[in-house]
Structure 1
Amino acid sequence: MAAGAKRRSLGRVSGENAVIEVAWMYYHDGRNQQEIAEALGISRATVVNYLQEARETGLIRITLAAPAFTTHRLALELREKFGLAGAWVVPDDGLVAEESFARVVRGAAQWLPDLLAPGDRLGVAWGRTVFELAEQVEARAIADLTVLQLVGSMATPYGFTAEACSTRLAQRLGARCLNLHAPAILSRAELAAELRAEPILKRQLDALEGVNKLLFSAGTVTAQSHVVESGLASPEELDAQVARGAVGVICGRFIDAEGQPMAGPVEARMIGIALPRLVGLEMGLLVVPGLDKVAPSLAAIKGGYVSHIATSTRVAEALLAA
């Protein structure tokens, strides 16, 4: 301990207050763990535990400034090659797929609020990527923001239903939430058409026409695709669409390699926004957390749905090489 420095004990201070005291000394005062331990009369191991608790409970938040990711060499190359307004690239060298996924989602969650403005009407797709992003967005109220569910509800084995994605994100951003109170897909096209004409649902669908920004991740067309697992398409319907040229899924709807919507029996039975309405918006943030999404993401870019992209270094390299 430095000469003249006064040693003090945490004494009766415990619990959260002790954690805050240690975190303040470490992050704001710039003192190292040994100095804190000596100053407070506790062990260095206790200091380490308090700092870990502060991170895990959200008492402190550690972030890197946005330019570290948006001005990365690969981010600039993505912008130039694909004509994007912005790109956010996180490093993932040496990481396994799940670790890379977590980094990309965390980065996109940090970036999203900066891309929104008061009065925006943000359309939200569904899926694990979008749901995990919503969970990690820092609570920040954006005035007069509306979050809209773009595809109807579904009986999914996952926790990340369409309404869960939009509702959670709206909560984090202090926004008004407009959900679709209808199934994502019906058994017959005629039934779907009748339901769309119902006054209550028609008003909800009409509200989607005001969307000016989009948050989504392009889905895959493998046998493990969410569209199959959630019942939006049967394995046979998926195979048929792939045979016709489907390479990806946006908001539950199939797209070809050029990003064009693919008509078919599944499309006619769906309840949700029509894909052409999502082309050329003020912002289309595409989150690409893994190499399995390179092909559908390229199609989404070609189709005009994307103005901003959040991804990792390995995926960025794959996109640029394609």
Structure 2
Amino acid sequence: MNGMTRRRNLAQVSGENAVIQVAWMYYQDGRNQQDIAEALGISRATVVNYLQEAREKGLIRITLAAPAFTTHRLALELSDRFGLRGAYVIPDEGTTTEEAFQRIVRGAANWLLDLIAPGDRLGVAWGRTVYELAEIVEARPVDDLTVLQLVGSMATPYGFTAEACSTRLAQRLGARCLNLHAPAILSRAALAAELREEPILRTQLDQLETVNKLLFSVGTATADSHIVLSGLATREDLDWNVAQGAVGVICGRFVDKDGQQLPGPMEERMIGIPLPRLVGLEMGILVTPGLDKVEATRAAIRGGYVTHLVTGSTVAEALLATD
């Protein structure tokens, strides 16, 4: 290729959007970086920069097919041991806690698109795991999909509101969003009962009864758990429930080792879907990103909330070793 041709190719590519051209040649045509550089009359370093720009702008999406994570040993053993319809296990050996968290959330975001279908009414819990998933899930509209906030609003230590989880996910999936316009917990049971009977909120709560699929992560029954840091439960509430056998939290409710909700004074003051309504749904998608949630995950499975589990290999090994 002579110098004039090289300059003409570079000018043409620059005018047509060099980033897209390079990304197409690399990912669709299967050409290597040096070949692209020579064909377009640019340096290999420029090709590398264009590919990086394409990734940063979200112009390309690189994923591994779900069977890579759902059909290997750990996934199959989890499904068999716990009676799940599917498990998606991401390798996380040698990663930091945050790296493992990000891997598992990204895996859940990828698999979610295979698990939901037109007409679904997807109930969404709250917390960092679900929020981060909603932020990175591929923007792909799903016909006649409704996303519902399952528990009322509350403060959060992570810089987003509780309803942001359902709102953001609905935006990414082109879905209708139904949020609860009320606090998750009130100071008095009588006040909560009155609020539930307000016509607007009564209609919203009735809509929750139509949920057919659930997306959630379990919380821990520890002082640094989201339920305490958000102010939903006080330290006294936590201590009382732990004394009654609490091992985890599902949608703001404490549960014991068998996934049974612990009766207590908090329930009468809460605004949200009753926990028994989430047992035995068409699908319950649980995302467990860390070893601190192994006991709570086991409880959620025993309680009948889970049909599909997304987790890392270290958590999977722990679940298989301890149950």
TM-score class normalised by the smaller sequence = over 0.9
What percent identity do the matched residue pairs reach?
78
Partner of 2:244: 244
Partner of 1:28: 28
Partner of 1:264: 264
Partner of 1:88: 88
Asked if structure 1 preserves the Cα contact closer than 8 Å seen for 2:13 and 2:21, the reply is no
CA distance, structure 1, for counterparts of residue 213 and residue 12 of structure 2: 51
TM-score, with structure 2 as normaliser: 0.95
- Comparing 99-108 with 21-30, which one deviates more in the overlay? 21-30
* Count of aligned pairs between the two proteins: 319
Partner of 2:121: 121
Partner of 2:112: 112
Partner of 1:216: 216
Partner of 2:163: 163
Query: Counterpart of 1:126 in 2: which secondary structure?
Result: coil
By how many angstroms is 1:12 displaced? 5.3
**What CA RMSD, in Å, does the superposition of the two structures yield over aligned residues?**
1.6
Amino acid at match of 2:46: T
CA distance, structure 1, for counterparts of residue 253 and residue 295 of structure 2: 15
Partner of 1:316: 316
Partner of 1:97: 97
By how many angstroms is 1:159 displaced? 2.9
CA distance, structure 2, for counterparts of residue 214 and residue 195 of structure 1: 25
Asked if structure 1 preserves the Cα contact closer than 8 Å seen for 2:255 and 2:299, the reply is yes
Partner of 2:41: 41
Asked if structure 1 preserves the Cα contact closer than 8 Å seen for 2:156 and 2:162, the reply is no
CA distance, structure 1, for counterparts of residue 29 and residue 155 of structure 2: 51
By how many angstroms is 1:273 displaced? 0.5
TM-score, with structure 1 as normaliser: 0.96
Query: Counterpart of 1:265 in 2: which secondary structure?
Result: coil
Partner of 1:17: 17
Amino acid at match of 1:168: R
CA distance, structure 2, for counterparts of residue 77 and residue 263 of structure 1: 34
Report matched runs for 1:173-322 at 5 Å: 173-322=173-322
Query: Counterpart of 1:10 in 2: which secondary structure?
Result: helix
By how many angstroms is 1:40 displaced? 1.4
Query: Counterpart of 1:305 in 2: which secondary structure?
Result: coil
Asked if structure 2 preserves the Cα contact closer than 8 Å seen for 1:127 and 1:160, the reply is no
Asked if structure 1 preserves the Cα contact closer than 8 Å seen for 2:13 and 2:40, the reply is no
By how many angstroms is 1:13 displaced? 3.9
Asked if structure 1 preserves the Cα contact closer than 8 Å seen for 2:283 and 2:308, the reply is yes
CA distance, structure 2, for counterparts of residue 164 and residue 21 of structure 1: 36
CA distance, structure 2, for counterparts of residue 23 and residue 121 of structure 1: 37
- Gap change, CA 1:9 and 1:107, over 3 Å in 2: same
By how many angstroms is 1:14 displaced? 3.1
Asked if structure 1 preserves the Cα contact closer than 8 Å seen for 2:246 and 2:255, the reply is yes
Asked if structure 2 preserves the Cα contact closer than 8 Å seen for 1:127 and 1:161, the reply is no
CA distance, structure 2, for counterparts of residue 15 and residue 106 of structure 1: 35
- Comparing 176-185 with 37-46, which one deviates more in the overlay? 37-46
- Gap change, CA 1:292 and 1:29, over 3 Å in 2: same
Amino acid at match of 2:43: S
By how many angstroms is 1:321 displaced? 0.9
